[in-house]
């Protein structure tokens, strides 16, 4: 019995949800998102106030998709109302970030600047040269772009230089001088 899949998804005011076969579309103040679910799953709008996700049988795969579909639809509803945000910080002497047009420019210790194209639907800002804020309605897009930016220069364990999430703990190692 899926505990997550059986919970109803409350539709807040100002959000329009439409279900057309296996396509669920959610539209709100921050944008429009859609998701096409598996055939084992059905979605129903109950009284226009909540969405119910149901499965056709009790196979292991169907049970897994039941909870997954409910979580994805909940994330869509939350994304179009509140949105999602990831904050990155850049640590290192001479390391900085800037935005030009639809490109994030990163100077992180390589011979050349690294340019990352900002995906459609994301709002990327640099309040200062050492911080990057990524906002958007799609949780997957926000997290994926943040992970791609972080992967350009992961924080290294000796001096801690690199790109990290705000508040991320980087385990530091003592250098070779500790053994002497």
Contacts of 117-122 spanning 24+ positions with Cβ under 8 A:
118/145, 119/145, 121/31
Inside any domain, residue 60: yes
Token code pair at residue 70: 């409910």
Q: Which whole-number Å values give the CA distances from 75 to 38, 114, 136, 153, 166, in the listed order? A: 17, 31, 12, 29, 22
- Please indicate, yes or no, whether residues 17 and 73 belong to a single structural domain of this protein: yes
Under a CB-based contact definition with an 8 Å cutoff, are residues 116 and 104 in contact?
Answer: yes
Residue ranges making up the domain that contains 141: 84-165
62: domain CATH number? Answer: 3.90.930.12
Q: Give residue 179's pLDDT band: very low, low, confident or very high (50, 70, 90).
A: low
Distance CA 148, CA 140 (A): 12
CA dihedral 51, 53, 56, 61 (to 10 degrees): 160
Diameter of the chain by CA atoms? 73
Token code pair at residue 53: 């996700």
Query: What secondary structure letter does DSSP report for 178?
Result: G
Inside any domain, residue 179: no
- pLDDT tens, position by position, 58-86: 889 998 999 999 999 999 999 999 999 99
- pLDDT tens, position by position, 132-156: 999 999 999 999 999 999 999 999 9
Distance CA 150, CA 87 (A): 11
Distance CA 111, CA 39 (A): 50
- Please indicate, yes or no, whether residues 156 and 121 belong to a single structural domain of this protein: yes
Please list the residues that pair with 36 across neighbouring strands: 23
pLDDT confidence of residue 157: 94
pLDDT confidence of residue 125: 95
What's the number of domains the chain is made of?
2
Q: Give residue 178's pLDDT band: very low, low, confident or very high (50, 70, 90).
A: confident
- Please indicate, yes or no, whether residues 128 and 158 belong to a single structural domain of this protein: yes
Average confidence (pLDDT) over 103-125: 95
- Please indicate, yes or no, whether residues 43 and 109 belong to a single structural domain of this protein: no
- Please indicate, yes or no, whether residues 161 and 91 belong to a single structural domain of this protein: yes
Inside any domain, residue 2: no
Under a CB-based contact definition with an 8 Å cutoff, are residues 97 and 152 in contact?
Answer: no
Task: Examine the fold and report which residue of 81, 110, 129 is the final residue of a domain before the chain moves on.
Answer: 81
């Amino acid at each position: 019995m899926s505990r997550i899949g059986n919970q109803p998804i409350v539709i807040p005011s100002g959000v329009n949800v439409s279900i057309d076969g296996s396509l669920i579309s959610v539209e709100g103040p921050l944008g429009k998102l859609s998701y096409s679910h598996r055939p084992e799953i059905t979605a129903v709008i109950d009284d226009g106030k909540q969405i119910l996700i149901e499965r056709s049988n009790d196979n292991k795969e169907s049970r897994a998709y039941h909870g997954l579909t409910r979580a994805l639809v909940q994330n869509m509803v939350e994304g179009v109302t509140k949105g999602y945000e990831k904050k990155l910080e850049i640590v290192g002497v001479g390391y900085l970030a800037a935005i030009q047009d639809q490109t994030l420019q990163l100077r992180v210790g390589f011979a050349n600047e690294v340019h990352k194209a900002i995906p459609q639907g994301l709002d990327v800002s640099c309040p200062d040269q050492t911080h990057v804020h990524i906002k958007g309605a799609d949780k997957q897009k926000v997290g994926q772009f943040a992970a791609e930016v972080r992967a350009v220069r992961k924080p290294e364990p000796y001096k801690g230089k690199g790109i990290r999430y705000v508040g991320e703990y980087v385990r530091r190692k003592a250098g070779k001088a500790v053994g002497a």
